[in-house]
Amino acid sequence: MKILVTGAVGFIGSHTAERLQDLGHNVIGLDNFSDYYSLELKHLNAKALTEKGVTIVNKDLRDDDLAESLPNDIDYIFHFAAQPGISQTSTFEDYFSNNIIATKHLVDYAERSENLKLFVNIGTSSIYGLEATFSEDFPPQPASHYGVTKLAAEQLVLQKSREKKMPACSLRLYSVIGPRERPEKMYAKLIALGLKGETFPLFEGSDKHLRSFTYVDDIVDGVVSVIGNETKIEGEIINLGTEVEHTTKEGIQAVEQVLGMPIKLNVIPKRPGDQSRTKANIDKARRLLNYNPQTTLVEAVRQQVEWYKANFL
């Protein structure tokens, strides 16, 4: 199969592109190599993908000439590209253009792809709001520009499914961790600062936040399992993550356990829009995709620490 993965040199996109290539597919990875975070990491990911045989296309989805840069016989699209996370340095315009306008351009391209079997939108638990513990039919209550624009992007994709113009589904991911995680994310920062003996900035009260910290390989298991299940998941929204909850404090303790050293903390003011609890309800994913994440938090952290040491020390 010929598969397009957007955001392919990012964290989860790169793992998915790599897995799909390993499964024998012809993978085209699209990315605009934004400097929102370390280009060094993005080029490291791109190198790993190129060595696997993935074709990398440096292209911004907001460009008007998207169809001129991509083939018209794509079988699957996995849409990871987005303005990520809840960041005080990102404007609403950043979220709007990267999450809504970019997705609209990709949908327009996808409609013209004659072989398209499925457009897989990658959503987020932030769509649910400050607490994300619900099944997929719960009314969205996003509490951040990120959540609002990711919901809009999801609906742009699913609109085409409802109109019978394009087969599509959306996967809402929960608190993914592991190798290649973005540098500003909790575990990446904990590991980097811990190994350097530097202080970790902890948002006030966030040590009590509950998260479905899910290892990236477990997420990718669910993402790639949509292939062959198109009729079951057409038009569906599906949560992917672990049902096991951990507090941020337990996450910090897991990193300390793997590193074998304490981490110094500095409490800073709360971050607006941050979720207080995420717990993936994956009953639907189990039923439709036979989804069953298994990796423990400590094992996930161990894998991430080993990757960081191999690439940055």
Residues annotated as catalytic are 146
- Give the integer Cα–Cα distance in Å for 39 and 179: 16
Q: Which two tokens stand for residue 33?
A: 């190599």
The DSSP 8-state label assigned to residue 96 in this structure reads I
Q: Which residues of 86-121 are buried (b: 16+ CB within 10 A; e: fewer)?
A: bbeebeeebbbbbbbbbbbbbbebbeebeebbbbbb
| SS3 labels along 97-142 | HHHHHHHHHHHHHHHCCCCCCEEEEEEEHHHCCCEECCCCCCCCCC
Task: Give the end-to-end CA distance of the chain in Å, rounded to a whole number.
Answer: 38
- Give the integer Cα–Cα distance in Å for 118 and 228: 10
Q: Give 157's contacts (C-beta < 8 A, 6+ positions apart).
A: 79, 103, 107, 119, 121, 166, 168, 170
112 phi/psi in degrees, rounded to 5: -95, 0
